[in-house]
Structure 1
Amino acid sequence: MNNEQTKSLIGAISMEEYVQKGKLSQCLPADAQITLELAKAQADEVWSVEKEKLEVISLDYEGYTVNMTFQMDGTYLFDSVNVWAEVGNSVGVATEIDVESDSGSVESTLVTSKLAAMETVERIQQFAANLGMQLEWFEMGDERVCLMPSAVTLHYLKQQNRWKLVKIAGAYRSVDEVRASLSRIADAVN
């Protein structure tokens, strides 16, 4: 994989595949590898955390940003996706749905996007049901966190009685460790 391919290969990854497999690197073709050097060459932003000896590489795409965290020696640690698009813009990502809705119907402003299967709580539940997948939910004040069987977490914020997908955190620890951590946080918040 060369410098030009890194960003396009990562951008081509299906978010459905990512949340099932847990890591960006597991979604790439067998002969492709994400390295610190290649990621840096196409990064939209690079930040170094000297104290922890980490480098975070950010790649911007339409409606979301992929963040990859490496140790400064080049060891790949984990990845995440920040969703930043709003309802009504040209991207159509992170469309919101009314939390109070009993019908479960999605607002008419929904636009098909790369994140369509998970952009609302109802959509990720439907996606999981179609695959026979069990999801675990953690309530943390104005945030709902969905734990996938892959140890990926999807983070939804309640904003003016609406849930909005704001982050997907890739697997870094085992699902049992993530579950225990989320339970402790939920207990402390609630």
Structure 2
Amino acid sequence: MLKQTIAAQLDLLHYLERGAVHLAAGMSIPEEAACEQEADEQWRTGSGTVYTFDFDGWSLNLHFDPEKNFSHDTIDFFGHCDLPGFSDIAGPLQAASAFEGATHFDLGDEQVVLLPSSVTVHFRKEEGDVQVLTKIAGALLPHGALADYYRSMLQR
């Protein structure tokens, strides 16, 4: 049920505005027990457990802390997908111009767009220097902390 709801209701533009998949899909905060039953895979990290839900062209990762509380989410892309809003943000300039107040960071092999919602949109160079959408990371830290983190990456 969780996987079907996400697939049917997720709009990427709403996700970028609201900062989390469950908010964009009109759902309550994900619970680890529901994820455990439906996830395509799961793994433990030093900071908790990650549950992955695989879809056509993309995967959703829901992260939980050791106390089983929802932490954040990420979406990985594997080429084009048919999620609503995908074509609106398929390039770094499109993603940056879609939201007022977006900040663009050129990290060399990766372009990151930080949105006012604290969501980050990640692009990697492929053949011919084409930037390809590879990941969206939901809000994990406050906007200012994320901006400072990416600015520090530029100084390396």
Q: TM-score, normalised by structure 2?
A: 0.90
Match of 2:135 among 157, 163, 167: 167
The equivalent of 2:19 in structure 1 is 22
Distance 1:17 1:184 in 2: 29
CA distance in 2, matches of 1:144, 1:172: 18
What's the counterpart of residue 73 of structure 1?
A: 67
Shift of 1:8: 1.6
- Structure 2 CA distance, aligned partners of 1:53 and 1:153? 20
Q: Indicate the structure with greater strand content.
A: 2
Runs of 4+ in 1 over 4 A off after TM superposition: none
1:47-67 deviation digits (Å, cap 9, x = unpaired) = 112xx2511000111111000
Match of 1:180 in 2: 148
Cα deviation for residue 28 of structure 1 reads 3.9
2:55 to 61, 65, 82: 61
Kept after mapping to 1: 8 A contact 2:19/2:117: yes
1:99-110 paired onto structure 2 within 5 Å: none
- Are 1:36 and 2:2 matched, yes or no? no
- Tell me which of 112, 118, 133 is aligned to 1:145: 112
Q: How far has the Cα of 1:145 moved from its partner? A: 0.5
* Aligned Cα root-mean-square deviation (Å): 1.7
Following TM superposition, by how much is the alpha carbon of 1:33 offset from its aligned partner in structure 2, in angstroms?
3.4
Q: Is the partner of 1:58 in helix, strand or coil?
A: strand
- For 2:29 and 2:97, locate their aligned partners in 1 and report how far apart those are by CA, in whole Å: 32
Partner SS, residue 134 of structure 1:
coil
Residue 118 in structure 1 maps to residue 86 in structure 2: no
- 1:137 CA drift (Å): 0.6
Question: How many residues are paired up?
Answer: 153
Query: Higher helix share goes to which structure?
Result: 2
In our comparison, the structure showing a higher alpha carbon Rg is 1
Write the letter of the residue equivalent to 1:151: S
User: Do residues 7 (structure 1) and 7 (structure 2) align?
Assistant: no
2:124 corresponding residue in structure 1? 157
Q: Structure 1 length normalisation: TM-score? A: 0.74
Q: In the superposition, relative to structure 1, how do residues 162 and 28 fare at CA in structure 2: closer, same or farther (>3 Å)?
A: closer
**Paired AA for residue 148 in structure 2:** A
